[in-house]
Structure 1
Amino acid sequence: MSTYKLYYFNGRGRAEVSRLIFAAAGQKYEDVRYERDQWPSHKSEMPLGQVPVLEVDGTKLPQSLSIARFLAKQFQLAGKDNLEQAKVDAVVDTINDLLAKYIPVRWEQDETKKQELIKKFIAEELPKHLQNLEVLGKLYGNGGPFFVGNHLTWVDLFFYDMATNILQLEANALDNFSWLKKNRAEVEKQPKIAEYLKNRPQTQF
């Protein structure tokens, strides 16, 4: 049986989707969390000098979405066939379109400029990208609450985590997107996910 170690900072960030996959699968793993002052002494241990990194039976794999896809395939959360997996990837890419607009807003250091960027993001970018996700959920979900095939896949977990960050920025972001709200609620109702969310460390990001 394979052993897994996930290396990241002490936060949700780019590792959280993989932690959610582990939780949904009920799979044990070692969750290695570096504080910022610890990281420099471990950076050289990582293939690209960055995290997250997944170590599987001694092999280290970088890149957050490559890690998530691998784990999803390991634990039957990637889609039941090639077409379902392609649909999952299409939704993942659509989430990434939104993240590409969100991340510069999140990490802007100038507070005055940040507030301007937040207003523009909420007014112009966020509704457009959420609408795209709502369309795909209705198109691929077979009438159910999950994005693809009416069963849980890793893209539901990816959206859940991304939306957590968006809702911290704008609490009413999903009010006009009933399907997306239902999707998040359904993810939270999964027993293993609910248990993980109840017990996971509370962090700043």
Structure 2
Amino acid sequence: MPQSFKLVYFDGRGRAELLRLTFVAANRKFEDVRVDVMGWPSLRTTTPWGTLPLLEVDGRTVAQSNAIARYLARSFLLAGQDKWQEVLVDSVIEAASDFLAKILHIGEFKGNDLEKADAVHKFKEVTVPSVLSNFDRFISQHGNNGFTVGNHMTIADIAIFSVLDNLFHHGILDSQSLEHYPGVKAAFKSVKTQPRIAAYLNERPNASF
């Protein structure tokens, strides 16, 4: 029996965009519910952990973005082709999540203009190259044919794409920067050019985060 999926998050990309992209890549329909920030306080007390995103599957609810990502990956055959690939894919999900947390922190940085400019500069010059180098080395060890793990698209590719897309969206990184990271560039391209994802990217609403 077909499953019914409802994804609940704010009206932004943030921690939900990986999940949206995964649905799109798998060609699975889902209800994309976007919560108004003003309505969040009343909704918060009804959630399992006081956080978003939430995923409802046939009326059952689960929270925590990485748990949801793994569930979708396993459900849609995007988790890897054996147990070893699965754990490698999991490690990329965690690394991408850590990176996204740093990106979101920069976007929400509290401080004066000079302090924020300094934080952004250090992020661009130190953090971003370090993380991309790690991704590139990982791909060279475990990926092939433009994919991060093995020879087929997994949610690992989508996770890397999603965080890079976030960097581009906020002007922290430009596409030319990927020339220094050939494995990352190939994985990014493999996702961006997937027909369903390309169509989604062309039509998705703009977002502030």
Q: TM-score range by the shorter chain?
A: over 0.9
**In structure 2, distance between residues paired with 1:49 and 1:98:** 22
- Distance in 2, matches of 1:92 and 1:34, equals 24
Q: Which piece of structure 1 moves more, 10-19 or 101-110?
A: 101-110
Please say if residues 166 and 173 of structure 1, whose CA atoms lie closer than 8 Å, have aligned partners that are also in contact: no
Residues paired across the two proteins, number: 204
Which has the larger displacement, 97-106 or 71-80?
A: 97-106
TM-score if structure 2 supplies the norm length? 0.91
> Whole-Å Cα distance in 1 between the matches of residues 101 and 13 of structure 2?
17
Give the match's secondary structure for 1:174.
helix
**Other-structure match for 2:29:** 28
| 2:132 corresponding residue in structure 1 | 130
Instruction: Determine if contact 1:134/1:177 at 8 Å carries over to the other structure.
Output: yes
Match of 1:120 in 2: 122
| Aligned-CA RMSD value | 1.5
* Pick aligned residue for 1:182 from 170, 180, 186: 186
Q: Contact 1:79–1:148 at 8 Å: present in 2 too? A: yes
Change (3 A) 1:128 1:113: same
SS in 1 for 2:184: helix
| 1:98 counterpart = 2:102 | no
- What are the within-5 Å matches in structure 2 for residues 1-205 of structure 1? 1-110=2-111, 111-142=113-144, 144-167=145-168, 168-171=171-174, 172-205=176-209
Q: Percent identity?
A: 38
Q: Are 2:146 and 2:187, in contact at CA under 8 Å, matched by a contact in 1?
A: yes
Normalising by structure 1, report the TM-score: 0.93
Give the whole-Å Cα distance in 2 for the aligned partners of 1:22 and 1:174.
Answer: 26
Q: Deviation per CA, 1:105-144, whole angstroms, max 9, x where unpaired? A: 22102232111011111222211111110011111113x1
For structure 2, the 5+ residue unaligned runs are none
Question: Closer, same or farther in 2 for the Cα pair 1:42/1:100, shift >3 Å?
Answer: closer
Secondary structure at the aligned position of 1:33 is classed as strand
In the alignment, is the contact (CA less than 8 A) between 2:92 and 2:159 conserved in 1? no
More deviation, 68-77/39-48: 39-48
Whichever residue aligns with residue 28 of structure 1, its letter is K
What runs of 5+ residues in structure 1 fail to find an aligned partner? none
